[in-house]
Structure 1
Amino acid sequence: MRGICLGLTCLACSTPVPAFATGKKASFVYIDKSDREMFVFAGREQLLRYRIALGRVPLGHKQQEGDKRTPEGRYLLDWKNPNSRYHRSIRVSYPNAADRQAARRRGVSPGGDIMIHGQPNRSPLPAAQLQTFDWTDGCIALTDAQMDALWDVIDTPVPILIVP
């Protein structure tokens, strides 16, 4: 269970209890891009805390399709995809109306399909290595085990805030 902030401990044996085993569901997700961390909350209680990988160009808000940036701002986790090219994925509702308007003013496509996802299916690199650098096209990447735990606590829609 390494890599998961468990938050709870079994009173009978002092063994950490995974947050997803408690039946609690996420009410809010917070992404800190500069620290490469994800925090998942049920109310004020922290359920999960993970190191993440971001888009290949991690600085700045996503401006357009293909810029390899991870968006910044308030969105929703609005759809779960069990049949992803990665080990599961949960969609971030980027682009929102402001993102579309800003892209339209610049005459570009805002892009889309921003996800929180696990490792690529049939990846040649182990997760421990892949998660040491920013490798996505703008998504937020977790290990497969972390993605499984997140999957279990997310019932869409859930608000997500992504900060620089």
Structure 2
Amino acid sequence: MTGRRDLMLGATALMALSACGGGKFKTYSGPAITAVQVFKESRRMYLIADREVVKDYKISLGGDPIGPKRFEGDGKTPEGPYMIDRRNPNSAYHLSLGVSYPNASDRAFAEANGKKPGGDIFIHGQAGKNKGRGRDWTAGCIAVTDEEIEEIYSMVSNGTPIHIFP
């Protein structure tokens, strides 16, 4: 009987949390997002369903955002066509969606220059601790607020193309 009572109390607590908007995992019931476009110069990111912009966000980039990412530690955000290729629900930055950088040409360019291309490029939140750090503070990632990454995480699936423009 105690096990059943504990189960009922746990279910009641879960319902109370979801009723008041608790938790970082949101649901999305709109049109499927078919592309993500990032414009580094204007610091904007757009989620697109077919040819229509569904949502847009102000973003922060790598600490040295001008130009494409070429090497590990250069502080740049990549440029070009990639894919959303993984999800991290336990990110140090609240939630994160992986960008498929480096691709084969990124690796070849770095290797030809005797360097590593770097990696671990994500769209992520701020985890609270990075608020107010300035315009561009990431190591090359694309950052939004924690509330925005919750929304983006629910809207964008693995395999979605992302194009990062200068």
Q: Tell whether the structures are fold-level matches, with TM greater than 0.5.
A: yes
- Which residue pairs with 1:116 in the alignment? 123
Measured in 2, the distance between the counterparts of 1:56 and 1:73 equals 18
Give 1:100's aligned residue: 107
* Distance in 2 of aligned mates of 1:163 and 1:154: 19
Q: Give unmatched runs, 5+ long, in structure 1.
A: 1-19
Q: Separation in 2 of the partners of 1:21 and 1:138?
A: 28
Map 1:1-164; keep pairs closer than 5 Å: 21-120=28-127, 123=129, 125=130, 127=131, 129-130=132-133, 132-164=134-166
Letter matched to residue 62 of structure 1: K
SS at match of 1:151: helix
More helix by share: 2
Say which SS state the counterpart of residue 155 (structure 1) adopts: coil
Percent identity of paired positions between Structure 1 and Structure 2 = 45
Shift of 1:63: 0.9
SS at match of 1:91: strand
- Runs of 4+ with deviation above 6 angstroms: none
CA contact (8 A) 2:28 2:155 kept: no
Report the structure number with the largest CA radius of gyration.
2
Alpha-carbon displacement from aligned partner over 1:69-116 (angstroms, at most 9, x marks no partner)? 000000001111101111100000000000000001000000000000
Q: CA–CA distance in 1 between the matches of 2:49 and 2:150?
A: 17
Q: TM-score, normalised by structure 1?
A: 0.81
Contact persistence 2:62–2:141 (CA under 8 A): yes
